[in-house]
Amino acid sequence: MHVLRLISISKFKTKLAQAKAAFQKSIYLQLLVIPGLIYFFIFHYIPMYGVIIAFKNYSLRAGIFGSKWVGLLNFQRFFSNPNFYQLLENTFKLSIYGLIFGFAPPIILAIMLNETYNIRYRKLVQTVSYLPHFVSTVAIAGIVIMILSPKGGMINNLLGVSGIKPIYFMSKPQWFRTIFIASGIWQNTGFNAIIYVASLSSVDPQIYEAATIDGASRLRKIWHISIPCIQNTIIILLILSIGGIMNVNTEKVLLLQNPLTYETSDVIGTYVYRRGLVLMEYSYGAAVGLFNSIINIILLNSANYLSRRFTESSLW
């Protein structure tokens, strides 16, 4: 036993020495990480103690720790709410439709840019496609409303030329999801393509040259070289997107929705805003938000597990 203990102590010292040597070797890189760790600790981890108000009847006067403990009552109120399933359905549909129709365009744009040999034209397309991402959500919503306006809106003017009566798009529940997703694709496709463009730029040009010599067409090179080279990036970003399915752009929904479109536009985020901030039901709002986060965690872990099982890529 004494010998085994000495061996284990020796192994521990060896590993400790190796870890110390590795740390000293990359000490400057470790120092660069420290500000980021401090930021996340102060602004993301310390405030997490406030989540306990989801299990309390929070009062501003009593404070977090002085408020009465009510357990799962706030969660029960939400689950028994008549609008619970509608909120869940609207949130899932907006996110899943956005993922289905909005995930591929950045990949397609990146491949098209990678296949463009005219540098000036490529830079122009990149700049034009990136710009909408840097426009504020309020301005984007304003542009969408102006374009779809029944009086003077570009879309209704074109319909008028064809003899079609103006359509009040913003007051039709059946049009909300299409408007929200289409405007999101326009706003984010260029910016989301950046990481794919960076991945494609790291592909060895000699691989394309060898494929050209072998007689491969451009489509063949895209299918057998470009896409496989960015496959890991696609899978990682897909996992992250699935993990954020419940995080619909609440600000944009609030700007585009109105009481006439609540049937399809009212999501968990807007419900939390109304109940938690407008009506000042802080505990109830925190409970709904916590439920939202738990669903996201479950989806993220499930997507990562399936990716690790069926592919070679995963977050952990």
Does the pLDDT at position 1 exceed 70? no
pLDDT of the residue at 25: 80
Q: Which of 1-5, 28-32, 232-236, 298-302 has the lowest mean pLDDT?
A: 1-5
Measured distance CA(239)–CA(115) in Å, rounded = 27
Give tens-digit pLDDT for 198-255.
Answer: 899 888 888 888 888 888 888 888 898 899 989 999 999 999 999 888 888 899 999 9
**Closest residue by Cα to residue 54 from 293, 253, 267:** 293
pLDDT > 70: percent of the chain: 96
SS3 state at 71: coil
Mean per-residue pLDDT for 25-36? 83
Residue 261: count of CB within 10 angstroms of its CB: 22
**What does the angle CA 32 – CA 33 – CA 34 come to, to the nearest 5 degrees?**
95
Which amino acid type is present at position 302?
S
Whether 265 and 253 have beta carbons less than 8 Å apart is answered as yes
- DSSP H or E stretch at residue 69: strand 67-69
Whether 226 and 203 have beta carbons less than 8 Å apart is answered as yes
pLDDT of the residue at 65: 84
Does the pLDDT at position 141 exceed 90? yes
pLDDT > 90: percent of the chain: 48
Radius of gyration of the chain (CA): 26
For the record, the structure tokens of 259 come out as 């009481």
Give percent helix, percent strand, percent coil of the chain, each to the nearest 5: 80, 0, 20
For the record, the structure tokens of 276 come out as 């938690």
- pLDDT band at residue 271 using 50, 70 and 90 as cut-offs: very high
pLDDT of the residue at 267: 93
Distance from CA of residue 236 to its chain's centroid? 12
Q: For 162-198, b where at least 16 C-beta lie within 10 A, e where not — what string?
A: eeeebeebbeeeebbbebbbebbbbbbbbebbbbbbe
**Closest residue by Cα to residue 292 from 278, 265, 271, 316:** 271
Distance from CA of residue 98 to its chain's centroid? 10
| Phi-psi region at 184: left, alpha or beta (left = phi > 0; alpha = psi -120 to 50) | alpha
Measured distance CA(34)–CA(116) in Å, rounded = 40
Average pLDDT, whole number, for the chain? 88
pLDDT of the residue at 7: 59
For the record, the structure tokens of 4 come out as 């085994």
Measured distance CA(3)–CA(145) in Å, rounded = 78
SS3 state at 257: coil
pLDDT of the residue at 2: 56
- Position with higher pLDDT, 30 vs 196: 196
Residue 139: count of CB within 10 angstroms of its CB: 11
Which amino acid type is present at position 7?
I
**Closest residue by Cα to residue 193 from 282, 118, 129, 262:** 129
- Position with higher pLDDT, 197 vs 23: 197
